[in-house]
Homo-oligomer: A and B are copies of this chain.
Amino acid sequence: MDIKSYIAEKGKKAREGARRLATLSTRIKDNALLSMADALEREAERLRLENQKDIDAAKKKSLSPALIDRLTLNEKRIREMAKGLRDVAGLPDPVGEITRMWQRPNGMQVGRIRVPIGVIGIIYESRPNVTADSAGLCIKSGNSVFLRGGSEAIHSNRAIAEVMVEAGSKAGLPDGAITMVDIVDREAVMEMLQLDQYIDLIIPRGGEELIRTVTANSKIPVIKHDRGLCHTYVDEYADMKMAQEICYNAKVQRPGTCNAMETMLVHRNIAAGFLPGMIDRLRKGGVDLRGCPEVVRMDPSIRAATEEDWNTEYLDLILNIKIVESMEKALRHIETYGSRHSEAIVTNDHPRAMSFLREVDAAAVFVNASTRLHDGGQFGLGAEIGISTTRIHARGPMGLEELTSAKFIVLGDGQLRE
């Protein structure tokens, strides 16, 4: 069978599976998730053997140690995957919730009820745990999942999917609930992106190149999980101690994440009091600093930031610092360079806090808190499938509710259109 027919056939089955999944009881879905979790732990040895093939291939191709680490499935990571599935089983089922109901003058009741989206395609890279995490969230929210992982994790992904499909089937999931496209060929992705009759949403998880390719070629709506170039603005009315803690946390706690701070903006009126201690602390944390001319004048050992620096998502222990003469200037800087992901202000001035919240265009806007808190778990949404940077459907962490949509229901007693 050629790739096109192979993908189309899998898509058709996923669509059929989605129809059955949509009306499956919470109990069956939860039992299936728990069975899949048990099966992953029971089959840990098989998973590790398959994973070893991927690691050997990666070493042969001299892939970076960081990539090989991300690829590696050890016992702890397998336990984490299983725990993730159990956590999702414990979350409330979003499907079937009537979110609103109202009466019209003609007496009919109109309402909105949460329903699954249908078939969700996930296109991702390297980390094999995405296979289990995505499948768990999609199944719980009543969606079929159509997975296409990276070629470097093909053996691991295939094994995880097989174990989950086996356990899920036994627990009552329909055929087609979980589909793994295990064709390494890039054409498989291209074909998948054309299947708008079978796949309702594509979520790419990976680097910028992957996201660009998917967006440019998909006939199916795409919700992107794109880069985060995040700022913290320390206002002149900030509590300096709090500001130092928040900025340090936002930069240092885990610099490789999309919600870490890349640029700190400091109001001029507080700069002389705030910056020396802050700079000292950041340096002790191993942070390489770059500054605007005014910062460099204040501390000539800091390198001057270039236009490119303001535009860079470092994902590393590097930070730009800029002194601004007003909150207005901070807002303009964020508008120009921010990636609309996570933006924070530290201030004790209420009107400034409120106008920052209102005016800043980002998936999440913070007052007096670290941008690192931009996360489904931290926000109380339970697990998340990622952080959306698309401007429709859902912005920010996508949990179970964001993997659903709503249909209208109408209860009448003979209403007609006049």
Contacts and interface: CB of A to CB of B under 8 A. Distances in A.
Q: Can you tell how many copies of this chain the complex includes?
A: 2
A378 B104 contact: yes
Contacts of A408: 363-365, 374, 379, 395-397
Contact of A19 (B104, B253, B361): B361
B223 A361 contact: no
A369 interface: yes
B104 A201 contact: no
A117 B391 contact: yes
Interface in A361-418: 361-370, 372-375, 378-380, 390-397, 405-417
Given A395-B405, A415-B369, A410 B110 contact: no
A79 interface: no
A267 to B, nearest CB: 18
Interface residues of A, number: 71
B392 A201 contact: yes
A118 interface: yes
Contacts of A156: none
Interface in A103-133: 104, 108, 110, 113, 115, 117-118
B201 A391 contact: yes
Contact of A219 (B108, B216, B249): B216
A23 interface: yes
B365 A416 contact: no
A327 to B, nearest CB: 14
A411 B378 contact: no
A358 interface: yes
A359 interface: yes
Interface in A252-267: 253-254
Interface in A227-251: 239, 242, 245-246, 249
B417 A373 contact: yes
A408 B363 CA distance: 6
A96 interface: yes
A182 interface: no
Nearest to A115: B361
Contacts of A411: 353, 367-369
Contacts of A19: 335, 361
A256 to B, nearest CB: 13
A93 interface: no
Contacts of A361: 19, 22, 115, 118, 407
A221 B200 CA distance: 12
Given A221-B222, A395-B407, A396-B408, 5 more contacts: A249-B417, A353-B411, A373-B415, A378-B417, A392-B405
28 contacts: A23-B359, A96-B358, A104-B379, A110-B380, A196-B215, A200-B392, A216-B219, A221-B392, A223-B392, A239-B414, A246-B416, A249-B417, A357-B409, A362-B407, A363-B408, A364-B409, A365-B407, A365-B410, A367-B409, A367-B410, A372-B417, A373-B412, A373-B416, A373-B417, A374-B408, A393-B393, A394-B406, A395-B405
Would you list the 4 A-B pairs with minimal beta carbon distance, nearest first?
A: A369-B412, A372-B417, A364-B408, A249-B416
